[in-house]
Amino acid sequence: MKLLQKSGLILASAFMIVACGPGGNTVETGEAEEVAAGSGTTLSIDASTSKIDWRGYKPSGQHYGYIPVIEGEVMVDGESLTGAKFVFDITGLKIQDMEESNENYGKLWGHLQSDDFFDAENHPQAQFELTKVEPFSADTIEDNEEFETDNTPKKDSELIEGNPTHWISGNLTMRGTTKNIKFPAVVSIADGVVSAKAGFNIDRTNWGLMYGDESSATDKAKDQFIYNTVSVGFDIKAN
């Protein structure tokens, strides 16, 4: 099992609620946007219960795990969130599909930390900042087409957490690159606690994680590539 040569993934994530116009029905990635100005009460991210899940795919298998959230805050004005920022620790990345005592765990972890993927030596942290929130109004989520194998990435419509309440947009910075991502999320505010859950896909190459780039595979029938699609999930709490 050539884990060192086949290890797709990444992550990213985020949330919140401010209010704006109607949303669309696609998960999107675009250029960085202006960060939302926060106002009202500041709540701290609960790092003990907040995390970012990731799942990477290759034709012959999958790897999955999580990245811890280490700090952050959200701003609440009444029952609306007006701003949010949180930081997650790339060097704290965990792999959950194998035991840490497994020799391959160390090889895969080291590869993901290397310049082939996150380049953690130069970019040990990633960051998300809220830019916009829109009401969720789509009946269905539009899915992208993927090359079919035994481990085709999950579709966005399969990753949705519960019944989404909002489309969340925010700037995700990884490996020194900032892109704006938009995705559906379930957001709630009650008794001084904010929670947000979401599941969606991103294209890792938008942030420069180019190793095994699917689009460069000359013969996909040989299964010698890593899917560019990475599934991301998050469970964020602030109080």
Q: What is the CB neighbour count within 10 angstroms for residue 145? A: 7
Distance of alpha carbon 45 from alpha carbon 237, whole angstroms? 6
* Domains defined along the chain, listed by start: 28-238 (2.40.128.110)
The segments of the chain whose pLDDT lies below 70 read 1-24
Question: Looking at residue 98, what DSSP letter applies?
Answer: S
Contact 100, 110 (CB under 8 A): no
At 24 the pLDDT is 60
The sign of the dihedral angle between the CA atoms of 155, 32, 194, 187 is negative
Q: Which pair of structure tokens corresponds to residue 7?
A: 């290890």
Q: How confident is the model at residue 57, as a pLDDT?
A: 98
Q: Is 216 exposed, middle or buried (CB count within 10 Å of its CB: 0-12, 13-18, 19+)?
A: exposed
Phi first, then psi: what are they for 228, rounded to 5°?
Answer: -70, -25
